[in-house]
C-alpha cells in the first residue's frame, strides 16, 4: 500500500532507513532498533487516519461501514498466550506462526476436529468424542441429548426465498458410509487452490449427475470444504465430496474412478 520511500520520515531517521529498500528489510530494522520502530509507527499515523476516514465514508445497503483499528501487538500476544493451551511442553513451534505447517500438532488436531472453514464462514464447535482432551475438560453446555450442529450455509427453498435456520439445522447428517475408494465416481477442482477433490456416489453417475457436476465446476462454485450440491438440490445427499477439507489439505490418493 505504501512504498517505504514514500513514508514521510523525520530527518533524523532518514539515513538509518535508507538501506532498508523493502518493507521486509524495514520491518527487520525496526525490530532491531526500537527508535526506528516508533518513528515508523508515528510516520504512518497520518496515512492510517486518512484511510480510516475514507473507509468510514463507505456505505452498504444504506448503513455506514464501521472501521476498526488494527489489533495491537499486545492484543496478539494475549491471544497467543491463551493458545499456548494447545502446546505440549516440548513443542517449540509457535501458535502464531503464519506458516500453518509449523503450528503445534495439538493445535492442528484441534482445528481438524472442531473447526470448519468454508467460503462464507468459520466455525468452531465442541465435539462429542470421548477421547477429546479439550471437550472432556470443557463439555458442551447443551443437554446431552441435544446435538450441537454446524451452522448451515444460507440456503434457498423451492420458492426462492432463504429457508429459516431451524429448518436447516442438522439436516446435513447424511449417511456417508460410501466415502470409500470403490465409490469414487469423478473429481471436482477447487476454484481457489486448484486441487482435485474426489466425488463419491453409491451408484454410477447418471448423465444428469455428470452434467450437474460440470455446472458446479464451470460456475466456480466449489471450494475445498464446501458442499458439492447445496441443501435441497437433487444430488445433495447422493453425490458428495468429503467435508472438512481445507485448501491446505493434501489430495486424496484414491483417484481410480470406478
Ligand atoms: Zn472435542
Ligand atoms: Zn481448495
- Tell how far the Cα of 149 is from the centroid of ligand 1, in angstroms: 13
Query: What rounded mean pLDDT belongs to the chain?
Result: 80
pLDDT of residue 172: 59
Q: Residue 118: nearest ligand to its CA?
A: 2
Q: Residue 194: nearest ligand to its CA?
A: 2
- Tell how far the Cα of 116 is from the centroid of ligand 1, in angstroms: 13
Q: Residue 226: nearest ligand to its CA?
A: 2
Q: Residue 134: nearest ligand to its CA?
A: 1
pLDDT of residue 212: 95
pLDDT of residue 9: 61
- Tell how far the Cα of 233 is from the centroid of ligand 2, in angstroms: 22
pLDDT tens digit string along 43-99? 888 888 999 999 999 998 889 888 888 888 888 888 888 877 777 777 777 766 666
pLDDT tens digit string along 227-249? 898 767 889 888 998 876 778 77
- Tell how far the Cα of 245 is from the centroid of ligand 1, in angstroms: 18
Q: Residue 140: nearest ligand to its CA?
A: 1
- Tell how far the Cα of 45 is from the centroid of ligand 2, in angstroms: 37
- Tell how far the Cα of 206 is from the centroid of ligand 1, in angstroms: 39
Q: Global pTM? A: 0.46
Handedness of CA 171, 177, 180, 185 (dihedral sign): negative
Q: Residue 135: nearest ligand to its CA?
A: 1
pLDDT band at 258 (very low <50, low <70, confident <90, very high): very low
- Tell how far the Cα of 175 is from the centroid of ligand 2, in angstroms: 24
- Tell how far the Cα of 145 is from the centroid of ligand 2, in angstroms: 35
Handedness of CA 85, 88, 92, 97 (dihedral sign): negative
- Tell how far the Cα of 205 is from the centroid of ligand 1, in angstroms: 36
Q: Is the pLDDT of residue 210 over 90?
A: yes
Q: What is the 3-state secondary structure (H, E, C) of the chain?
A: CCCHHHCCCCHHHHHHHCCCCCHHHHHHHHHHCHHHHHHHHHHHHHHHHHHHHHHHCCEECCEECCCCCCCCHHHHHHHHHHHHHHCCCCCCCCCCCCCHHHCCHHHHHHHHHHEEECCCCEEECCCCCCCCHHHHHCCCCCCCCCCCCCCCCCCECCCCCECCHHHHCCCCCCCCCCCCHHHEEEEEECCCCCCEEEEECCCCCCHHHHHHHHHHHHCCCCCCCCCCCCCCCCCCCCCECCCCCCCCCCCCCCCCCC
Cα separations in angstroms, 120 against 154, 211, 226: 9, 25, 9
Q: What is the mean pLDDT of residues 101-117?
A: 80
Amino acid at each position: 500500500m505504501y512504498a517505504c520511500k514514500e513514508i514521510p520520515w523525520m530527518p533524523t531517521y532518514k539515513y538509518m532507513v535508507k538501506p532498508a529498500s523493502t518493507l521486509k528489510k524495514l520491518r527487520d530494522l525496526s525490530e532491531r532498533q526500537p527508535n526506528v520502530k516508533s518513528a515508523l509507527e508515528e510516520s504512518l499515523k497520518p496515512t492510517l487516519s486518512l484511510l480510516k476516514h475514507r473507509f468510514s465514508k463507505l456505505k452498504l445497503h444504506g448503513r455506514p461501514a464501521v472501521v476498526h483499528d488494527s489489533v495491537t501487538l499486545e492484543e496478539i500476544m494475549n491471544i497467543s498466550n491463551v493458545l499456548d493451551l494447545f502446546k505440549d511442553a516440548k513443542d517449540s513451534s509457535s501458535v502464531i506462526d503464519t506458516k500453518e505447517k509449523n503450528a503445534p500438532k495439538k493445535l492442528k488436531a484441534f482445528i481438524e476436529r472442531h473447526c470448519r472453514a468454508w467460503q462464507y464462514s468459520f466455525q468452531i464447535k465442541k465435539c462429542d468424542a470421548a477421547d477429546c482432551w479439550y471437550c472432556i475438560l470443557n463439555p458442551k453446555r447443551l443437554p446431552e441429548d441435544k446435538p450441537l450442529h454446524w451452522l448451515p450455509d444460507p440456503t434457498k427453498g423451492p420458492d426462492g426465498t432463504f429457508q429459516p435456520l431451524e429448518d436447516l439445522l442438522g439436516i446435513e447428517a447424511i449417511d456417508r458410509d460410501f466415502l470409500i475408494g470403490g465409490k469414487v465416481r469423478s473429481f471436482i477442482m477447487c476454484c481457489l487452490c486448484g486441487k482435485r477433490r474426489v466425488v463419491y456416489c453409491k451408484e454410477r453417475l447418471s448423465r444428469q449427475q455428470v452434467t450437474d457436476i460440470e455446472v458446479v465446476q464451470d460456475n466456480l462454485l466449489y471450494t475445498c470444504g464446501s458442499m458439492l450440491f447445496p441443501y435441497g438440490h437433487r444430488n445433495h445427499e447422493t453425490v458428495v465430496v468429503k467435508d472438512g477439507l481445507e485448501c491446505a489439505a493434501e489430495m486424496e490418493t484414491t483417484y481410480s474412478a470406478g
